[in-house]
């Protein structure tokens, strides 16, 4: 990703001190670009829970680096004490956000790799560092490949429209900032734009934290992709009037049966798309698949966040990012952060291995090694 023309990832080890992890703090975006240092497991847990970073892939990559930091600080007197501390730190990280499956996936990948290298503590720390970097590199590579597969769908629609701009609606931010680079929902969009295929993106604002209005719009702006921010309730109207050619969203957990958990409001967009014959695609790396559950509505844990995220709204005032009260001070509010879109409403899944149906046969066809 490019910010003011300079290439960044969303997370990296500090150049002159590889015991420090650096992230882009997403809270003040798009108004301020702030880089934050993370030194301890508590810093990492806070960064995930309070959403300094966010998005399925980046939450996973941050947990991977968090386990490396845990390894640096764990007791070194015995392999047992070292491992016990890592398991405890892994639990602490996993408790920060329940819906994104990449978080537990990254923690367990680290614990398995650290256990596999024997009892020497220095070797274990080196393994943790190596796996953290590998998770980040894989995330970026998988997202790039998602772009290469997904661009074919946009290309086809563009041909059908004789080169008229392809109108794509997206919800939340499944872009650069939700991953290590490229993004998932945005990767095919960037690939199309870079190949000269005219695209225009309808950006759902995505209340309550406005990841669309703040972050997706900022990214598209930085990359020069034509886009328009819309209030969350507009998509259905646009679809009824033929103003949306396709929807692409990301996901925080997708079951191998095809049910998709994503940012709250995604389900309503899928219903509107279904009613209007608009193709509805979900883009994800394989780290976001949950291979254990079958029924998304019944089995996926849905994170509930604080009421203040609904009651207050952030914005720029006199050069400072401030928070203002939106509702009557005494009105209660509730804040479900995700919902589940049943597989029957999903046209296809765009993965690093290709595009498949949102069904058990489709997913296992692409990932045959996961057949039980």
Q: How far is the CB of 41 from ligand MRU (least distance, A)?
A: 20
Q: Answer for the pair 288, 57: CB distance below 8 angstroms, yes or no.
A: yes
Residues in 85-144 at the binding interface with ligand MRU, rule: CB under 6 A? none
Annotated catalytic residue, options 232, 252, 259, 339: 252
- Whether 252 is catalytic is yes
193 contacts ligand MRU (rule: CB under 6 A): no
348 contacts ligand MRU (rule: CB under 6 A): no
Of 43 and 115, nearer to ligand MRU (C-beta) is 43
List of residues 6+ apart from 23 with CB closer than 8 A: 10, 11, 35, 36, 38, 47, 52, 53, 62
Query: Of these, 1, 44, 55, 260, which contacts ligand MRU (CB under 6 A)?
Result: 55
Give the pairing of strands 253-255 and 289-290: parallel
Residues in 263-292 at the binding interface with ligand MRU, rule: CB under 6 A? 263
Q: What helix, strand, coil percent values describe the chain, rounded to 5?
A: 45, 20, 35
Helix axes 56-73, 101-116, angle to 10 degrees: 40
* DSSP helix/strand/coil, 84: helix
351 contacts ligand MRU (rule: CB under 6 A): no
Q: How far is the CB of 351 from ligand MRU (least distance, A)?
A: 13
d(CA 189, CA 200): 9
Of 114 and 310, nearer to ligand MRU (C-beta) is 310
Query: Of these, 101, 246, 337, 340, which contacts ligand MRU (CB under 6 A)?
Result: 337
Q: How far is the CB of 284 from ligand MRU (least distance, A)?
A: 7
Residue 104 CB coordination number (10 Å): 17
Of 54 and 149, nearer to ligand MRU (C-beta) is 54
Residue 120 CB coordination number (10 Å): 11
State the residues that interact with ligand MRU by CB under 6 A: 54-57, 172-174, 178, 184, 211, 249-252, 262-263, 337
């Amino acid at each position: 990703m490019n910010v003011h023309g300079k290439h960044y990832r969303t997370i990296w080890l500090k150049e002159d001190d590889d015991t420090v992890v650096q992230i882009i703090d997403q809270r003040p975006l798009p108004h301020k670009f702030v880089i934050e240092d993370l030194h301890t497991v508590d810093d990492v847990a806070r960064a995930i829970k309070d959403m300094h970073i966010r998005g399925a892939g980046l939450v996973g990559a941050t947990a991977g680096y968090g386990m490396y930091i845990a390894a640096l600080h764990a007791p070194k007197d015995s392999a047992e004490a070292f491992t016990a501390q890592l398991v405890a730190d892994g639990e602490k990280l996993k408790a920060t956000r329940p819906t994104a499956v990449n978080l537990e996936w990254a923690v367990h990948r680290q614990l398995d790799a650290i256990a596999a290298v024997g009892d020497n503590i220095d070797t274990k720390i080196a393994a943790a560092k190596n796996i953290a970097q590998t998770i980040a590199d894989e995330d970026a590579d998988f997202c790039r490949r998602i772009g290469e597969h997904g661009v074919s769908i946009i290309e086809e629609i563009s041909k059908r429209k004789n080169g008229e701009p392809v109108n794509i609606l997206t919800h939340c931010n499944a872009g650069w900032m939700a991953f290590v680079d490229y993004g998932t929902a945005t990767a095919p969009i960037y690939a199309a734009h870079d190949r000269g295929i005219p695209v225009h993106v309808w950006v759902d604002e995505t209340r309550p934290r406005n990841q669309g209005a703040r972050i997706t719009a900022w990214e598209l702006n930085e990359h020069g992709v034509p886009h328009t921010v819309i209030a969350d309730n507009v998509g259905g109207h646009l679809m009824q009037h033929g103003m949306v050619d396709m929807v692409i969203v990301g996901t925080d957990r997708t079951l191998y049966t095809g049910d998709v958990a994503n940012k709250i409001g995604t389900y309503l967009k899928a219903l509107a798309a279904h009613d209007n014959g608009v193709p509805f695609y979900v883009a994800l790396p394989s780290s976001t698949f949950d291979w254990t559950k079958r029924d998304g509505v019944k089995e996926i844990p849905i994170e509930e966040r604080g009421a203040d995220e609904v009651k207050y709204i952030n914005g720029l005032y006199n050069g400072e990012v401030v928070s203002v009260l939106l509702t009557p001070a005494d009105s209660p509010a509730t804040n479900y952060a995700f919902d589940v879109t049943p597989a029957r409403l999903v046209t296809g899944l765009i993965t690093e291995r290709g595009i498949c149906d949102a069904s058990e046969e489709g997913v296992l066809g692409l990932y045959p090694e996961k057949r039980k």
